[in-house]
């Protein structure tokens, strides 16, 4: 388990560590989170642990039950379907607005982010870095959309999406397909083709949803 490096951004570091434990299933869905053990292992007090758990509860990733403790929320087929349905609509709009507002500096960052995500993960330890690169690609698009309300809505979706991303990327050929689809989206944005960018993004998310639901047992 990763330990706290320093006391700067202690809350965020603690939050990231616990969230990654949940994403990697070091703590399985439905299982109780041992606050005392985590505090000892990463060498922090219980206060930042509890703050992180409250934050994760607000995101729907953790469930806190009075007098019983904090538990990892179960991921269900309904949850997966709902999240990806909402994501399709919102990400499509993100791609459309980004293609209309994109500047060359951000476009260059998108290309570099896509270069990172082109390295397909082969081992479990590489999955977090891969998903971070994918998140960076989508985050750059979201920033370029210049729509504050859309950003707020995507924050809610992304809180859940991170866990699903790590489950779907290990499915057969999903990572390779994602890289190909991202390249197609980037090409549409480079041409400033808002219609194509939106449709390609929606097609990408639909593809993820179809694969996820077909392999739902491996995800939940």
- Residue in the block written with tokens 């509860």: 57
Q: Which of 29, 56, 72 delimits the end of a domain?
A: 72
Same domain, 175 and 115: yes
Asked whether residue 119 is assigned to any structural domain, the reply reads: yes
Domain with 66, as residue range(s), is 10-72
Residue-level pLDDT at 51: 94
Q: Which neighbouring-strand residues pair with 63?
A: 71
- Cα–Cα dist 6/1, whole Å: 15
Same domain, 117 and 191: yes
Q: Which stretch of 4-8, 12-16, 82-86 has the lowest confidence by average pLDDT?
A: 4-8
pLDDT > 90 in the chain, percent: 54
Closest to 35 in 3D by CA, of 59, 51, 20: 51
Look at the pTM and tell me if it is higher than 0.85: no
pLDDT in tens, 24-55: 788 988 899 999 999 999 889 999 999 999 99
Across the chain, mean pLDDT equals 88
- Cα–Cα dist 10/49, whole Å: 10
pLDDT in tens, 87-109: 999 999 999 999 999 999 999 99
- Per-residue confidence band for 9, with pLDDT thresholds at 50, 70 and 90: confident
Same domain, 139 and 53: no
Asked whether residue 87 is assigned to any structural domain, the reply reads: yes
The two structure tokens encoding residue 13: 């570091």
Same domain, 134 and 211: yes
- Going from the C-alpha of 57 to that of each of 36, 69, 131, 156, 183, the distances in angstroms are 18, 12, 22, 12, 35
Same domain, 63 and 94: no
Asked whether residue 3 is assigned to any structural domain, the reply reads: no
Asked whether residue 49 is assigned to any structural domain, the reply reads: yes
Q: Which neighbouring-strand residues pair with 180?
A: none
- Cα–Cα dist 111/93, whole Å: 20
Same domain, 14 and 97: no
Q: Which of 55, 72, 89 delimits the end of a domain?
A: 72
Check the CA dihedral 66-27-163-84 and report its sign.
Answer: negative
Q: Which of 46, 72, 98 delimits the end of a domain?
A: 72
The CATH number assigned to the domain holding 32 equals 1.10.10.10
Number of domains making up the chain: 2
Same domain, 120 and 168: yes
Same domain, 137 and 173: yes
pLDDT in tens, 160-183: 887 787 778 777 778 788 889 999
* SS3 state of residue 220: coil
Q: Which stretch of 80-84, 130-134, 148-152, 180-184 has the lowest confidence by average pLDDT?
A: 130-134
Residue-level pLDDT at 143: 95
Mean pLDDT of 188-194: 96
- Cα–Cα dist 47/60, whole Å: 20
């Amino acid at each position: 388990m990763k330990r706290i490096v320093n006391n700067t951004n202690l809350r965020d570091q603690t939050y990231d560590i616990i969230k990654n434990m949940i994403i990697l299933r070091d703590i399985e869905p439905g299982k109780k989170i041992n606050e005392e053990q985590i505090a000892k292992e990463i060498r922090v007090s219980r206060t930042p642990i509890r703050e992180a758990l409250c934050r994760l509860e607000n995101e729907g990733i953790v469930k806190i039950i009075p007098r019983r403790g904090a538990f990892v929320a179960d991921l269900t087929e309904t949850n997966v379907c709902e999240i990806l349905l909402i994501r399709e609509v919102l990400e499509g709009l993100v791609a459309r607005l980004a293609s209309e507002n994109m500047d060359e500096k951000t476009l260059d960052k998108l290309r570099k982010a896509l270069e990172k995500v082109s390295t397909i993960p082969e081992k479990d330890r590489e999955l977090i870095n891969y998903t971070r690169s994918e998140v960076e690609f989508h985050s750059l698009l979201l920033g370029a959309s210049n729509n504050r309300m859309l950003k707020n809505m995507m924050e809610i979706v992304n809180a859940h999406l991170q866990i699903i991303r790590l489950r779907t990327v290990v499915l057969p050929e999903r990572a390779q397909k994602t890289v190909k689809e991202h390249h197609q989206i980037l090409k549409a944005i480079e041409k400033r083709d808002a219609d194509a960018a939106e449709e390609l993004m929606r097609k990408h998310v639909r593809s993820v949803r179809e694969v996820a639901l077909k392999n739902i047992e491996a995800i939940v």
